[in-house]
């Protein structure tokens, strides 16, 4: 994480691993809605995920899984 708790936009290797961990190529999607996250994950294979900003708690994140 960068200072202030912000995750890098477009990061696809959060722990230094090889390749993307989600089908979309990026795991952090910022301020998207739950519905948008669900729609993105419908296009992905099982075990895909994304992280987005929480809509209800300003300084938190939400993890969406398929």
Backbone angles phi, psi at 48, to 5 degrees: -80, 160
Residues 48-58: tens digit of each pLDDT: 999 999 999 99
* Nearest CA-CA partner of 62 in 18, 7, 3, 21: 7
Predicted structure pTM score: 0.62
Task: Work out the average pLDDT over 36-52.
Answer: 91
Question: What is the rounded distance in angstroms from the CA atom of residue 6 to the CA atom of residue 47?
Answer: 24
Query: In 3D, which of 28, 19, 26 has the Cα closest to residue 61?
Result: 28
Residue 3 has pLDDT above 80, yes or no: no
Examine the pLDDT at 33 and tell me if it is beyond 50.
Answer: yes
Give me the residue spans of the domains in the chain. 1-66
The CATH topology of domain 1-66 is SHC Adaptor Protein (3.30.505)
pLDDT at 24: 57
pLDDT band at 23; cut points 50, 70, 90: low
> Per DSSP, what are the bridge partners of residue 61?
53
């Amino acid at each position: 994480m960068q200072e202030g708790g912000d995750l890098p936009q477009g990061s696809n290797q959060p722990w230094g691993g090889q390749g993307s961990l989600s089908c979309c190529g990026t795991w952090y999607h910022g301020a998207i809605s739950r519905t948008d996250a669900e729609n993105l994950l419908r296009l992905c294979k099982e075990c895909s995920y994304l992280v987005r900003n929480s809509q209800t708690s300003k300084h938190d994140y939400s993890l969406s899984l398929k």
